[in-house]
Chains A and B, each alone.
Chain A
Amino acid sequence: MSCTLGEVKNRADFIIYWGGNPAECHPRHFTKYTIMQKGKFVPAGRKSRTMVLVDIRETPSAKAADIFLQVRPGKDFEMVTALRALIKSQRVSKEVVAETGLTVEQLQDFADRMKSARFGILFFGMGLSMTRGKHMNSAAVLTLVAELNAFTKFVAMPMRGHGNVTGSDMVMRWTTGYPFGVNLCRGYPRFNPGEFSTVDLLVRGDNDAALILGADPGATMPQPGIDHLARIPTIVLDPKVTHTSRLARVHITTAATGISAPGTVYRMDEIPLPLRPPLKSPYPTDEEVIHRIHQAVGKKPAWLPAANGRASVSRAG
């Protein structure tokens, strides 16, 4: 239930930021895409837009908000579930709603405003997707937005992290069918978050080698995961020596993408943009290094047994 950022710029009169702090984490968001822009159908710009910020504390983003709803930590799921009921005029428990830090009246007002928007957008950040409930918090806002379309036009978009996380999601999907947490051990792609996602694999120690590219798990993972990375052969490709590099077996310095290495990034709304690196680097690009590793691995004997090795296509797909 989404759109590209230009739709927000041109149409959105009701903008919600939930569990994110764009003023600090996506500093150009307001000015380039959302509240500050004069849009084709919102020519008066800021004056015709209402911004609602939902977060557990008042961040600098609250200064830009028309309405700030302070939800208690770990209560987003309850709040969204209540909203789902309220937009359908279903009953909710006053007492339990109060545990979210907000009243039924506040939520009812929020629901009414969402329904009477001409075009609403809900941006959601890691304050939602990484707190208790995780993927169910994301599912909750996406479901709420889908249901709002019975009343008016409403879309949602995740506020992506830094780097090209969206790009990796896109490429993984078209080559394997799945966005992340892909296991290729059995010769074909399999997906199961919690079983094959990075943090779970590392914490349980389910892998016996690691290649780290464009990330620094040695700084962000739970300690058992870090300890495991230190134990197994770990290879790091990065422009800088990172925390992970320090516990790795091999560190290869590579050119910084976008600065000295070309490529394509995908914006948070999944639109591809070319990178035009302005500088040259003495180091190889990630791509060159991976290509060379791949060629060397290709010289080793195939690891799949003969029965599985023959490529067969003509079957019921």
Chain B
Amino acid sequence: MLRITGGKVYDPTNNIDGVVRDICIANGQIVADVQGGRTLDATGMVVFPGGVDIHTHVAGAALNFARAMTPENHRQAAKFLHSPEQRAGIGGTTPTTFATGYLYAGMGYTTVVEAAVPVLSAKHTHEELRDTPIVDKACCVLMANNEIVLDLLEAREVERAKQVVAWLIWAAKAYGVKAVNPGGVAAWKWGKDAKQLSQPVEGYSKTTPARIIAGLATIVDELRLPHPLHLHCNNLGAPGNIATTLETMKVLEGHRAHMAHLQFHAYGGDDWHSIRSEAKTLAEHFNANKNLTADAGAILFGNAVTITADGPWQHLLYQLTGRKWGNLDVENETGCGIVPYVYKGSNLVNAVQWAVGLELLLLIDDPWRIFLTTDHPNGACFWRYPEIVQMLINADFRHERVQALPEKARKRMVLPDLDRQYSLYEIAIITSAGPARALGLTQKGHLGVGADADITIYNQNPDGEQMFRYPRYVIKAGDVVVEEGHIRNAHEGREFLVHPTYDEKIEDFLRPLFQQVYTMSFDNYPVEIERITRPEVRAV
């Protein structure tokens, strides 16, 4: 039992904007009142709901491949020393699993969504998540290049496709559906890509990326999943890709959707020399399309590792930069490409990318629809989110950083003209309340009665980066897990799963097909529920 008293509470879901009030906790939940127990004096401090990261890459085959590729990054990374409270580990661009939990919790984040899980290696993802302490987790399973699904869409067997998708979500023990470069990763299996939404995908005559997007969005809505289709658009990273993004938004009309790392999809220009920001155009359309949410996918200058199921894009990046390249195609389902990368302020393209992330956060007017992410580790490491917070709440500081960019770059963006400053209330929305709502996690992202007791308490500090980097206390499920930067209690978090309704007979269709095109026994394919630590299943 715990009472937090004297702190200024920010709870946007419940319209509480910096009001000094008590928060009471019992049995891991927020309750109306407690008698006895510990009292935590938060006078002069700021109380937030625990952070929710709606899109990150922290566990599974792709990330583990990236770890293998970058020992030099590990050598420079923060070192987590073994102690009675803490497992050894390494931070940096691809933190080890225990370090991932400590780093997120240390920053006041208590729920994390692993954004890209192949069904075939989902067991691996869940094993890594089991070794990620403190935070609660959920997974999005990759679907938009699943050849069984694509073949069904090609044959116009939409109902059967829906049954298969539902079965796959439960087989993977996932929470949501992820679509990455729809059709493009399937084309990459032959070394090609899918850049035109209305062109049939390599190997298909009727199935276009647009059809896949619309098909999956419909299926997700019909299955009534709590989180909408989570979409990484075609043409990521390419100059002029604003056209593809706007076209995608048209395809999505009438459906819910969450657009991932929007920054990478907001470029104008024809080539790398003429690349410019089209964040303004994108924000205008996005503001008008109220069926959509998005996460920023902002970049920060410094070390990153690009890890994405967008295989063709990564091959291109390797050819352009000569950097290390890794690629792992997963039979019938998806693939991933990995290129370690360094973003530099002196590089015109990187400068534009840096601006675009911030522009989207400033130009999209509803903080309930745009969330703070860096597509970790693609844009920047997640433990640098506090740097972005500072740039959002302090326009002067932001302008100073803009002035440091090359003049040529400043002509390609509107950021110099933007003076908006985020309030703490709005920060609480984009880091917690908003993502929780978009995920349909009703017990997260707020401090009302019945919520999970995931609470972060900050010392007030005009320097947003310092304030958000060093929470005074982090409480998870009612336990004080971090106190002044030190891990006190690294318990295991829970994992949220969705069990969609499907006709069991779909297995009669899948089994023989599976045996034909896969390379393992069908009985070994689904993830066993025992493999999930503290699962919380939601039937839909």
- Direct A/B contact, Cβ within 8 angstroms: yes
State the A residues within 8 Å of B (CB). 1-7, 9-11, 32-33, 40-41, 118-119, 146, 149-150, 152-153, 155, 170, 173-179, 184, 187-191, 264, 266, 270-274, 302, 304, 308-317
Shortest distance from the beta carbon of B72 to any chain A beta carbon, whole Å: 10
- Residues in chain A near residue B154, CB distance under 8 A: none
Which among B80, B96, B107 is the interface contact of A311 at CB below 8 angstroms? B80
Given A149-B191, A313-B106, A317-B383, also A177-B517 (CB < 8 A): no
Shortest distance from the beta carbon of B162 to any chain A beta carbon, whole Å: 23
User: Cβ of A179 and Cβ of B96 under 8 Å apart?
Assistant: no
User: Cβ of A273 and Cβ of B520 under 8 Å apart?
Assistant: yes
**Interface check B95, CB cutoff 8 A:** yes
- Residues in chain B near residue A309, CB distance under 8 A: 81, 83-84
Q: Within B9-58, which residues are at the interface with A (CB < 8 Å)? A: none
Which of B60-68, B177-185, B423-431, B435-443 makes up part of the contact surface? B60-68
User: Cβ of A3 and Cβ of B103 under 8 Å apart?
Assistant: no
A270 to B80 CA separation, bound complex (whole angstroms): 27
- Residues in chain B near residue A310, CB distance under 8 A: 83, 486
Q: Closest B residue to A182 by CB, please name it.
A: B88
Given A2-B327, A179-B68, A317-B92, also A119-B190 (CB < 8 A): yes
A150 to B312 CA separation, bound complex (whole angstroms): 11
Max count, chain B CB within 10 A of own CB: residue among A11, A304, A312 = A312
**Interface residues of B, count at CB 8 A:** 77
Q: Closest A residue to B188 by CB, please name it.
A: A153
**Interface check B218, CB cutoff 8 A:** no
User: Cβ of B328 and Cβ of A11 under 8 Å apart?
Assistant: no
User: Cβ of B88 and Cβ of A187 under 8 Å apart?
Assistant: yes
Q: Closest A residue to B315 by CB, please name it.
A: A149
A184 to B83 CA separation, bound complex (whole angstroms): 12
User: Cβ of B120 and Cβ of A4 under 8 Å apart?
Assistant: yes
A184 to B383 CA separation, bound complex (whole angstroms): 24
**Interface check B518, CB cutoff 8 A:** yes
- Residues in chain A near residue B85, CB distance under 8 A: 311
**Interface check B86, CB cutoff 8 A:** yes
User: Cβ of B71 and Cβ of A191 under 8 Å apart?
Assistant: yes
A-B contact pairs, 5 of them (CB 8 A): A1-B327, A149-B191, A270-B64, A313-B482, A317-B99
Which among A152, A274, A314 is the interface contact of B524 at CB below 8 angstroms? A274
Shortest distance from the beta carbon of B470 to any chain A beta carbon, whole Å: 5
**Which 4 pairs across A and B sit closest by C-beta, in order of nearness?**
A6-B331, A317-B91, A313-B106, A311-B86
**Interface check B403, CB cutoff 8 A:** no
Q: Within B330-360, which residues are at the interface with A (CB < 8 Å)? A: 330-332, 335
- Residues in chain A near residue B131, CB distance under 8 A: 174-175
Given contacts A153-B189, A174-B128, A189-B88, 5 further A-B contacts (CB under 8 A): A4-B329, A175-B89, A175-B96, A189-B74, A316-B383
**Interface check B313, CB cutoff 8 A:** no
User: Cβ of B191 and Cβ of A302 under 8 Å apart?
Assistant: no
A177 to B102 CA separation, bound complex (whole angstroms): 15
Shortest distance from the beta carbon of B168 to any chain A beta carbon, whole Å: 16
**Interface check B7, CB cutoff 8 A:** no
User: Cβ of B68 and Cβ of A317 under 8 Å apart?
Assistant: no
- Residues in chain B near residue A312, CB distance under 8 A: 485-486
Which of B221-229, B237-245, B318-326 makes up part of the contact surface? B318-326
User: Cβ of A153 and Cβ of B106 under 8 Å apart?
Assistant: no
Q: Closest B residue to A153 by CB, please name it.
A: B191
A85 to B41 CA separation, bound complex (whole angstroms): 69
Shortest distance from the beta carbon of B491 to any chain A beta carbon, whole Å: 14
Q: Closest A residue to B521 by CB, please name it.
A: A273
- Residues in chain A near residue B329, CB distance under 8 A: 2-4, 7, 155
Shortest distance from the beta carbon of B76 to any chain A beta carbon, whole Å: 10
User: Cβ of A176 and Cβ of B90 under 8 Å apart?
Assistant: yes
Shortest distance from the beta carbon of A182 to any chain B beta carbon, whole Å: 10
User: Cβ of A308 and Cβ of B128 under 8 Å apart?
Assistant: no
A188 to B80 CA separation, bound complex (whole angstroms): 6
Shortest distance from the beta carbon of A31 to any chain B beta carbon, whole Å: 12
User: Cβ of A189 and Cβ of B68 under 8 Å apart?
Assistant: no
User: Cβ of A177 and Cβ of B71 under 8 Å apart?
Assistant: yes
Given A149-B191, A187-B82, also A175-B519 (CB < 8 A): no
**Interface check B270, CB cutoff 8 A:** no
User: Cβ of A1 and Cβ of B519 under 8 Å apart?
Assistant: no
**Interface check B487, CB cutoff 8 A:** yes
User: Cβ of A313 and Cβ of B105 under 8 Å apart?
Assistant: yes
- Residues in chain B near residue A40, CB distance under 8 A: 147, 516-517
**Interface check B528, CB cutoff 8 A:** yes
A153 to B233 CA separation, bound complex (whole angstroms): 23
- Residues in chain A near residue B470, CB distance under 8 A: 314
Q: Closest A residue to B86 by CB, please name it.
A: A311
Q: Closest A residue to B332 by CB, please name it.
A: A6
Which among A3, A179, A190, A316 is the interface contact of B330 at CB below 8 angstroms? A3
A1 to B337 CA separation, bound complex (whole angstroms): 9
User: Cβ of B190 and Cβ of A153 under 8 Å apart?
Assistant: yes
A4 to B97 CA separation, bound complex (whole angstroms): 24
A2 to B524 CA separation, bound complex (whole angstroms): 22
- Residues in chain B near residue A6, CB distance under 8 A: 331-332, 517-519
- Residues in chain B near residue A152, CB distance under 8 A: 191
Shortest distance from the beta carbon of B207 to any chain A beta carbon, whole Å: 16
**Interface check B121, CB cutoff 8 A:** yes
**Interface check B444, CB cutoff 8 A:** no
**Interface check B77, CB cutoff 8 A:** yes
**Interface check B306, CB cutoff 8 A:** no
**Interface check B469, CB cutoff 8 A:** yes
Given A3-B328, A184-B82, also A272-B191 (CB < 8 A): no
A66 to B59 CA separation, bound complex (whole angstroms): 41
- Residues in chain B near residue A10, CB distance under 8 A: 331-332, 517
A148 to B462 CA separation, bound complex (whole angstroms): 54
User: Cβ of A176 and Cβ of B96 under 8 Å apart?
Assistant: yes
Q: Closest B residue to A176 by CB, please name it.
A: B96
Q: Closest A residue to B482 by CB, please name it.
A: A313
- Residues in chain B near residue A33, CB distance under 8 A: 519
Which among A5, A150, A153, A188 is the interface contact of B88 at CB below 8 angstroms? A188
Shortest distance from the beta carbon of A283 to any chain B beta carbon, whole Å: 23
A264 to B85 CA separation, bound complex (whole angstroms): 28
